[in-house]
Amino acid sequence: MKVRPFRGLRPRAELIEKVNVPPYDVVDRDEVRQYIKDNPYSFFHVSRTDGDFDDSVSEHDDRVYEKGKEVFDKFLADGIYKQDVKPGYYLYSQTWHGRTQNGVFICASCDDYEAGTIKKHELTREDKEEDRTHHLLTLGLNTGPVFLFFKDSPVYEKIISSKLASAPEYSFADENGVTNKLWPIDGPEAAELDAFFKKMDNLYIADGHHRAASAYNARKILAGKNPGHTGNEEYNYFLAVVFPGSHLRILPYNRLVLDLNGLTKDELLKKVSEKFDVVSTECHDPMKGKAAVMYIGGSAYLISPKPGTYDPDDAVGALDVSIIQNNILAPILGIDDPRTSKRIKFVGGRKGSAELKRAVDNGSAAVSFCLYPVTVEELMTIADRGEIMPPKSTWFEPKLRSGLVLHSIR
């Protein structure tokens, strides 16, 4: 892999709690406004500058992107951010609910992305690619990292062990109760990481497909404008954080269906029982894969697919999200395309089954399906086969914070 260290742009340590923000794509415009209210240091003034404008200005107006550049240039001029003198890596640790994931900020290669050695598992939307490409070209910065992972290695754990035992440069708890820590890495440990990354065969995208695609798009544009292009320029690389796969936590991406497609509760249960074993349950979360909890009319049912309802050798078709889609949502409830249907909503991450029950009980949805989360192994199998996961299949938690370390492509 063409992984390399870089001269990170980082905020002053005493401002880290005011600067850092969630990823740009997990909040809407009104939520951004709440984050930036009375906080001139919030990185959302750079990564989601649309929050600084009223709704008469489109999120994709040129003025929004230019404002982001203006704000960051002022951050640099005022010493809120500065660039490290020497290239290095940055160890990033996140602890949430007693579980820790330890990753490293790197520069990943657009060549590896193009070659497919950085493996994808989901499709991207053109409008989202265009937004981040425009943002990247205007600011000249990777403002948010792509979330990558690799197959576990004891070599990696040994390299980072001494750094983890030392005092971090940043340490703070975010609004979700995640403890975030960061250590710059240079010298012998950086050289060891160089050697480790160069021996890798593959990296996998966990989250950030649009950020990776936009970095690749920007590279093509900038290379085309550069008659002296060598392939070694900073725009050939993008910001990422890489973790061992076993460190990651994937939460379920659950389904809410707004109506029963003309069926009664009893009619739906009868149709579902043709393909699934249906058992009443007091538990609202499935305890294993190949089972889901359907909640309807104040009652929960554990539903398990019968033999023949899916092909166990089909990596995508055997996912729980696919089994529910192919056997219930499409043929019974009429949700043929979950990407475009207005009759389905997706509930991911921390909200869990309590949010599903609340929505059904208050009448904002007719039925819910609580799923067992996709595993890292399932994701890798699908990516290795060059296949694509169904929409809204994975929710990684905790999310990577933005504003901690930035990469200049200029």
Contact 334, 343 (CB under 8 A): yes
pLDDT of 350: 82
pLDDT tens for 80-115 read 999 999 999 999 999 999 999 999 999 999 999 999
d(CA 318, CA 140): 42
Give all domains of the chain, ordered by start, each with its CATH number.
9-249+397-408 (no CATH), 253-372 (3.30.1760)
Contact 327, 275 (CB under 8 A): yes
pLDDT band, residue 312 (cuts 50/70/90) = very high
pLDDT tens for 241-252 read 999 999 999 999
Q: What is the 3-state secondary structure (H, E, C) of the chain?
A: CCCECECCEEECHHHHHHHCECCHHHCCHHHHHHHHCCCCCCCHHHHCHHHHCCCCCCCCCHHHHHHHHHHHHHHHHCCCEEECCCCEEEEEEEEECCEEEEEEEEEEEHHHHHHCCEECCCCCCHHHHHHHHHHHHHHCEECCCEEEEECCCHHHHHHHHHHHCCCCCEEEECCCCCEEEEEEECCHHHHHHHHHHHCCCCEEEEECHHHHHHHHHHHHHHHHHCCCCCCCCHHHEEEEEEEEHHHCCEECEEEEECCCCCCCHHHHHHHHHHHEEEEEECCCCCCCCCCEEEEECCEEEEEEECCCCCCCCCCCCCCHHHHHHHHHHCCCCCCCCCCCCCCEEEEEHHHHHHHHHHHHHCCCCCEEEEECCCCHHHHHHHHHCCCCCCCCCCEECCCCCECCCEEECC
pLDDT tens for 282-293 read 999 999 999 999
Contact 148, 118 (CB under 8 A): yes
pLDDT tens for 255-288 read 999 999 999 999 999 999 999 999 999 999 999 9
pLDDT tens for 184-236 read 999 999 999 999 999 999 999 999 999 999 999 999 999 999 999 999 999 99
Q: What is the pTM for the complete model shown? A: 0.94
pLDDT tens for 348-376 read 878 889 999 999 999 999 999 999 999 99
